[in-house]
Amino acid sequence: MPRSVVIVGGGPRGTGVLERLAASAPEFVSAGDVLHVHLVDPYPDGAGRIWREDQSALLWMNSMAADVTMFTDDSVRCDGPIVPGPSLYQWAVAVRDGELPGETVPDGAVGEELRALGPATFATRRLQSHYLDYVLRRVLADLPPQVRVERHRTRAVGLRRGSPDTVLLDGGGELPADVLVLASGHLDAAPTADEAALAAHAEEHGLRYFPPEQTTDSDLDRIPAGETVIARGMGLAFIDLMVLLFEGRGGRFADRGDGTLDYVPSGREPVVHVGSGRGVPYHAKTEYALRGPRPPLPRFLGPDEIAGFVRRGSVDLRRDVWPLMAKEVGWAYYHELFAGHPDRVRGVWDDFALRYAELDWYTPAMWELVAGFVPDPADRLDFERIDRPLEDVSAPDLAGLQERLRAYVLDDLARHVDDRYTAELGAFVGLLSVFAQVAELAGTPALTPRSRAQDLAWWQNLFSSLASGPPGPRLRQLLALSRAGYVVFLGAGLQVEPVDGGFRATSASLDHVAVTAETFVEARLSSPSVSRSDDPMLAGLHAEGLLDEETLREEHAVGGRDAGSAVAVHAADAAVAHSGASVTLHNTGLVRVRTTDFRLVDAEGRPDPGRFAIGPHTNVRLPGAFTRPNTNALSFRANDALARAVLAEVAPAAGRLSA
């Protein structure tokens, strides 16, 4: 009988897995045999929910057009064949130049955008939707004869076990599934206890509470003009909120002629008071190229060092690995500072590099070395200042805090859009290298349970704030809104609590200052949670024990040395563990998969032979489904590993898959 693979999720991740399946299928499936692949998603093909065209034209990507690709290239080290294709920018050029048969410039504003797109343009998400649609159509057009694909614009709602399994579709349809691949993006979840309490408070008192969710799916029309709003979160979800509440309501920005923007209101604006844990927006995306050669990486944290950590075991990321991570990023930062800005350093790179290599990051000798070669403290890399820039701020009033935050944002803009600061791009290159190496380490049992549960989340947040921020123009708009009084910064350590008549916000950056509002927006995505997931497929698999929520058990020995196992614990074990003081459980909320091939791990700790999952809802933390060209993209390597594991499962040897 022909074999069947069901991929749940037809957005960029599902498309990437399908592309890798098609690329390797001829190696596993003999000519004349058939592998049926079903792609299931209620949202548009290729684009999925997040990148669907049906969203505001005001919303942009946070990557430049030349830095977005869905195709492998010669830099990608994977077992499957390399199948090159155009980046977003190259696709746009080819379409407008008539070089892609059958492809035409879209009608309307999206077509106008495509014609004007440059390599450094931050495209709209609507244009990215067209690119992703093209990618999927190209994959389908280039399928090998052994693979047939059928698309289903509906939702997968459950699984009936059998030989093969049957995927149940919304509306009553069924699909045979010898192999199931869960490739959805970020999944929504039921509220936490705290979120449910805030929602109940809002319902009881006639207030407005917006829980964590995709901002584009929020009913922001419920917020009246002139309303005081508290927003918690200053990442990309907040940038979307800012765009939709101001430009989306008819406001506009006027350029003074020097890049400084003024906000021209429509009269429909609220006043948004915003803060977060760190208290500052994500760093702007860099808008320049390196002046010097690309930093030679990896240098201090590469495969050999990762292998050493794996052999050692019981590794604490912050204590043991972070100093090397910081040193690696510092190496890339100072490499570009010396190469691109010799007027801002003393001495030559070779002398600096020789001594730098011998020193640990957190030592007085390293600080003395950097101070001797880099005279301006503003040119020295300080991760503690970067991670907690408002640590020493306690303003007596809101006005004083606004000046401090505006100065911070202005400095960040200068560092990321002015090519006098290309060392920041060097650091970015270093961050990408470090991210890949940490992902390799996280795919092993080497990290302690506490470090896996807490430190990886800290690192992911720090990386996102440094490397996944908004385009520079968004921060210029934020400054304009701040100067006009429509955005008010609350700073770091934001706390929001229900009070009579509203919600009350305080922060560590304000000395005895509080803001009360009747509207509270959680400007962030919901935290991952298998047990709270509102996805019926995920919830059903979890209820049957076929899918496990990662819970890590940390045992505390009497002598003070911690031991632990980065494996799931059963419910009975959890009850026993909580009864004693010697065990701590860390629940990550993530789908547990085997890190080598992304097979689901069931409640008994066994890898599933026919069910896989990949994406942000799993315990293998990957960057986005599309990435920069020529970077040996981790996401592409992960897609390839999963696809080849799937093919090995349905066709264990070439010629054994019968037609």
540 within some domain: no
Q: Is the pLDDT of residue 557 over 80?
A: no
- Rounded mean pLDDT, 66-73: 97
User: Given 430, 445, 467, which residue is the final one in a domain?
Assistant: 467
The residue that leads in pLDDT, 556 or 482, is 482
Tell me the pLDDT band of 250, cut-offs 50, 70 and 90: very high
Domain of 161 in residue numbering reads as: 3-185+595-650
Tell me the pLDDT band of 582, cut-offs 50, 70 and 90: low
Q: Is the pLDDT of residue 653 over 80?
A: no
Of the candidates 589, 544, 582, the residue with the CA atom closest to the CA atom of residue 568: 589
Of the candidates 452, 463, 460, 457, the residue with the CA atom closest to the CA atom of residue 316: 452
Q: Are 554 and 212 in contact (CB under 8 A)?
A: no
User: Given 588, 616, 637, which residue is the final one in a domain?
Assistant: 588
508 within some domain: yes
DSSP secondary-structure letter at 154?
Answer: S
- Work out the angle between the directed axes of helices 12-28 and 125-141 (0-180°, nearest 10): 20
- Work out the angle between the directed axes of helices 349-358 and 364-373 (0-180°, nearest 10): 170
Tell me the pLDDT band of 185, cut-offs 50, 70 and 90: confident
Same-domain check for residues 76 and 155: yes
Tell me the pLDDT band of 579, cut-offs 50, 70 and 90: very low
What Cα–Cα distance (Å) separates residue 292 from each residue in 222, 259, 337, 342? 51, 27, 9, 11
pLDDT digits (tens, 9 = 90+) for 323-333: 999 999 999 99
User: Given 431, 446, 467, which residue is the final one in a domain?
Assistant: 467
Any idea which of 184-193, 298-307, 504-513, 626-635 has the lowest mean pLDDT?
184-193
- Rounded mean pLDDT, 273-294: 95
Q: Is the pLDDT of residue 562 over 80?
A: no
Q: Is the pLDDT of residue 135 over 70?
A: yes
Same-domain check for residues 404 and 345: yes
- Looking at residue 553, its pLDDT comes to 81
Same-domain check for residues 91 and 47: yes
Of the candidates 243, 524, 507, 269, the residue with the CA atom closest to the CA atom of residue 401: 507
Q: Is the pLDDT of residue 504 over 90?
A: yes
Q: Are 657 and 650 in contact (CB under 8 A)?
A: yes
The residue that leads in pLDDT, 87 or 616, is 87
Residue 504, H or E segment: strand 502-506
Domain with residue 245: its CATH number is 3.50.50.60
Same-domain check for residues 417 and 477: no
Q: Return the SS3 of 146.
A: coil
User: Residue 48, Cβ neighbours under 10 Å: how many?
Assistant: 24
Q: Are 337 and 426 in contact (CB under 8 A)?
A: yes
Same-domain check for residues 315 and 411: yes
Tell me the pLDDT band of 307, cut-offs 50, 70 and 90: very high
Q: Which residues contact 650 (CB under 8 A, 6 or more apart)?
A: 3, 5, 28, 35, 178, 179, 657
Q: Is the pLDDT of residue 571 over 80?
A: no
- Looking at residue 188, its pLDDT comes to 82
Q: Is the pLDDT of residue 491 over 80?
A: yes
Please tell me the pTM assigned to this model: 0.92
Q: Is the pLDDT of residue 213 over 70?
A: yes
416 within some domain: yes
533 within some domain: no
- Looking at residue 573, its pLDDT comes to 41
- Rounded mean pLDDT, 89-111: 96
- Amino acid code (one letter) for 533: S
Euclidean distance between CA atoms 378 and 342, whole angstroms: 15
Provide the pairing of β-strand 147-152 with 179-182.
unpaired
Same-domain check for residues 428 and 556: no
Tell me the pLDDT band of 570, cut-offs 50, 70 and 90: very low
The residue that leads in pLDDT, 146 or 1, is 146
Same-domain check for residues 111 and 7: yes
Q: Is the pLDDT of residue 541 over 90?
A: yes
Tell me the pLDDT band of 554, cut-offs 50, 70 and 90: confident
- Rounded mean pLDDT, 395-422: 95
- Rounded mean pLDDT, 386-415: 95
Q: Is the pLDDT of residue 397 over 60?
A: yes
Same-domain check for residues 475 and 460: no
Nearest 5°: phi and psi at 254?
-110, 130
- Rounded mean pLDDT, 191-205: 95
Euclidean distance between CA atoms 499 and 518, whole angstroms: 10
- Rounded mean pLDDT, 176-198: 92
Same-domain check for residues 437 and 342: yes
Same-domain check for residues 33 and 107: yes
Same-domain check for residues 100 and 230: no
Q: Is the pLDDT of residue 193 over 70?
A: yes
- Looking at residue 652, its pLDDT comes to 66
- Looking at residue 197, its pLDDT comes to 96
- Looking at residue 569, its pLDDT comes to 44
Same-domain check for residues 201 and 320: no
Any idea which of 2-11, 68-77, 448-457, 554-563 has the lowest mean pLDDT?
554-563
- Looking at residue 194, its pLDDT comes to 95
Euclidean distance between CA atoms 92 and 115, whole angstroms: 7
- Looking at residue 443, its pLDDT comes to 85
Q: Is the pLDDT of residue 561 over 70?
A: no
Q: Return the SS3 of 91.
A: helix
Tell me the pLDDT band of 603, cut-offs 50, 70 and 90: confident
- Looking at residue 585, its pLDDT comes to 80
Euclidean distance between CA atoms 654 and 471, whole angstroms: 48
How many helices (DSSP H) and strands (DSSP E) are in the chain?
A: 19, 24
Name the domain count of the chain.
4
- Rounded mean pLDDT, 291-316: 96
Average pLDDT, the chain: 92
- Rounded mean pLDDT, 254-275: 96
- Looking at residue 31, its pLDDT comes to 84
What percentage of the chain reaches a pLDDT higher than 90? 84
